[in-house]
A = this chain, B = another copy of it.
Amino acid sequence: MAQLRFRIAISLDGYTAGPEQSVENPLGIGGTRLHEWVFPLAAWRKPHGLEGGKVNESTPVLEELLSNVGATIMGRNMFGGGPGSWDQDDPWNGWWGENPPFHHPVFVLTHHARPPLELEGGTSFTFVTEGIQSAYNQAERAANGRDVALAGGANVARQYLKAGMVDEMVLHLVPTLLGAGDRLFDGITDLKGLRPAQTVAAADVTHLKFARR
């Protein structure tokens, strides 16, 4: 069975997005601060088609997270867009541009059926309306022996965490406070067998890895 590997950036006060999330500002107020550690990294820039960048303590963490992944699962908000974007006459292709950084099949959990999208660079988006088990099953088949990445957001992650389906969880703990927004662990009281496996500290982020024994 493919490992389901979840990673997400989280603030010191437990938020994965700031307040007032919207189509225009999906990360919420202050939410970009959760991702500032990753943007300068060469290991992040490369799959986005960008050259150069930094190498630091976060580099091997990110490289490991991006390796051996054959499919990705994400929520509709992370794909991008409110109701308007699902207009059949002029469907929006999400946040990710013509050549998204995944380069493998992506499965988007949604309540609204929509035909698949094939984009450049090997990325496809398939829209799954049958829930988290179906998305996992489809992603596992598509991954063809490699692992499945659970990209978020928090709502989808909570569903998989509650179901005990997450095999690996990496929290990128960012030393900032957002004060409000979407809390990853709201309503979750049990890590379902995930145990601390590794901690890696960089100057601007601490990576907390959990895995099943």
Contacts and interface: CB of A to CB of B under 8 A. Distances in A.
A188 interface: yes
A199 interface: yes
A179 interface: yes
A176 B176 CA distance: 20
Interface stretch (A88-96, A111-119, A126-134, A204-212): A204-212
Given A13-B14, A14-B13, A175 B188 contact: no
Copy count, this protein chain: 2
Contacts of A176: 191
Given A13-B14, A14-B13, A177 B203 contact: no
Given A14-B13, A177-B188, A206 B204 contact: no
A195 interface: yes
Contacts of A163: none
A106 to B, nearest CB: 28
Interface string A183-213: 1110011110001100111011010101000
A199 B201 contact: yes
Given A185-B13, A206-B208, A195 B177 contact: no
Given A13-B14, A14-B14, A201-B201, A188 B195 contact: no
A65 interface: no
A13 B188 contact: yes
Tell me if A's interface is mostly helix, strand, loop or mixed: loop
Contacts of A178: 189
Interface in A10-36: 12-14
B203 A189 contact: no
Nearest to A180: B189
A188 B179 contact: yes
Given A179-B185, A199-B206, 5 more contacts: A12-B191, A13-B183, A13-B188, A14-B14, A177-B189
